[in-house]
């Protein structure tokens, strides 16, 4: 945001990877994106004028962007955030595609609800996911699918704490998927290293202060409303730009509560208060989200929009579509994806990384 209230967004295009990116950067033909192994050759500049409400769009080359940034501090700040290398998150280096495996200890999650509802079943599942290539295990005890009912703090704790304790005791990196401050605290005490909050710390008024006190990394996901009612809020003029801005507000709230910027990862919240067209537009514009200068998580595994596009009604049958969107996310520079099918995603990510770095 500029001093006069005007707003700027940069939508990188012409993405290059690996050696292609490094050579284009060396020749001044591209600009870095989240480090030096990813670059973009041009970008759409979307400018909203506060005085008139008018929006303009211009496509500029890397050379033009660099030249204009010399006299435009707002643009220069944007380019600096886009370029900044992403540091390790919860001790995990972000130098290659990383995978978060889903461990739902719930009876009603949209894809695997009830499959791992006992603590031992969930622990065994988490261990299998780690062996299959998961870098993080995301343990959740409350379904946040559309229309899901809330779960009490006590019930959520009873579901997740034994699982977190066992997996953490194995030396595995565990995140807790919760919106509740009390669950966050108990989970971290049990060994969780990351808090993953689908409400971006907005659901529980104590959550942001709790995460700040605990000093642990947090994933801020975009959502409007509550899981039970969120689809009533799925109205956007431009989903990618509006989600970007609302995540920016969540980042500011988190930092105002005392959470260190280095401890924040963002997630655009695919499927949360978003329909199929919104989800596809966000994926197409995912590189935009590097404009916050923070690590990016993409979580779309088996979700409804994949079924709507592919015609696969059953969630567990959406592997091919899930791999396609995960690959697109990695190519756009997402540092981590959250998935059910860890082994298949890990194999895809390893192959993609080899093509980019060794091809």
> Which pLDDT does position 113 carry in this prediction?
47
For residue 1, what pLDDT is reported? Answer: 43
338 included as an active-site residue? yes
Q: Which pLDDT score, from 0 to 100, does residue 116 have?
A: 54
Q: Is the pTM of this model over 0.75?
A: yes
Rg (CA), the chain: 20
User: Is the per-residue pLDDT at 110 higher than 70?
Assistant: no
Q: What is the pLDDT of residue 14?
A: 98
Strand, coil or helix: what is 323? helix
Spans of all domains in the chain: 7-83, 98-358
pLDDT of residue 346 exceeding 70, the answer is: yes
Structure-token match 């994933």, residue found: 219
Neighbours of 359 (CB within 10 A): 9
Place of tokens 């540092």: 335
* pLDDT band of 4, cuts 50, 70, 90: low
Query: 349 and 340 in contact (C-beta within 8 Å)?
Result: no
Q: Is 128 a residue of the active site? A: no
Alpha carbons 104 and 70: distance in angstroms, whole number: 49
The residues, any chain, with a CB within 8 Å of residue 299's CB and separated by 6 or more, are 100, 221, 267, 269, 270, 337, 338, 339
Active-site residue, selected from the candidate residues 193, 303, 304, 318: 303
Four-way CATH pick for 98-358: 3.20.20.20, 3.90.1150.10, 3.30.365.10, 3.40.50.2000: 3.20.20.20
Q: What is the pLDDT of residues 202-216, one digit of tens each?
A: 999 999 999 999 999
């Amino acid at each position: 945001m500029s001093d006069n209230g005007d707003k700027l967004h940069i939508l990188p295009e012409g993405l290059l990877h690996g050696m292609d990116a490094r050579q284009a950067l060396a020749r001044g033909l591209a600009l870095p994106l989240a480090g030096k192994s990813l670059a973009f050759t041009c970008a759409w500049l979307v400018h909203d004028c506060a005085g008139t409400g008018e929006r303009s769009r211009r496509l500029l080359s890397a050379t033009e962007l660099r030249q204009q940034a010399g006299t435009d501090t707002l643009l220069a700040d944007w380019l600096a955030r886009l370029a900044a290398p992403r540091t390790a998150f919860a001790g995990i280096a972000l130098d290659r595609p990383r995978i978060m495996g889903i461990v739902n200890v719930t009876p009603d999650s949209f894809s695997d609800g009830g499959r791992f509802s006992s603590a031992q079943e969930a622990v065994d599942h988490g261990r299998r996911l780690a062996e299959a290539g998961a870098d993080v295990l995301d343990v959740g005890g409350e379904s946040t699918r559309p229309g899901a009912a809330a779960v009490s703090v006590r019930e959520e704790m009873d579901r997740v704490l034994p699982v977190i304790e066992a997996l953490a005791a194995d030396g595995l990196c565990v995140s807790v998927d919760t919106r509740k401050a009390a669950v966050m605290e108990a989970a971290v005490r049990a060994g969780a290293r990351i808090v993953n909050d689908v409400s971006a710390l907005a659901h529980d008024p104590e959550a942001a202060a709790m995460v700040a006190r605990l000093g642990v990394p947090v994933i801020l996901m975009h959502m409007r409303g509550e899981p039970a009612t969120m689809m009533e809020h799925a109205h956007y003029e431009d989903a990618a730009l509006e989600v970007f801005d609302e995540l920016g507000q969540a980042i500011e709230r988190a930092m105002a509560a005392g959470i260190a910027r280095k401890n924040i990862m963002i997630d655009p919240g695919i499927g949360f208060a978003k329909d199929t067209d919104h989800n596809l537009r966000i994926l197409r514009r995912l590189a935009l989200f590097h404009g916050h200068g923070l690590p990016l998580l993409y979580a779309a595994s088996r979700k409804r929009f994949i079924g709507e596009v592919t015609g696969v009604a059953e969630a567990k049958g959406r592997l091919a579509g899930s791999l396609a969107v995960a690959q697109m996310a990695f190519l756009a520079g997402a540092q981590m994806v959250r998935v059910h099918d860890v082994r298949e995603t890990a194999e895809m990510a390893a192959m993609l990384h080899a093509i980019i770095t060794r091809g």
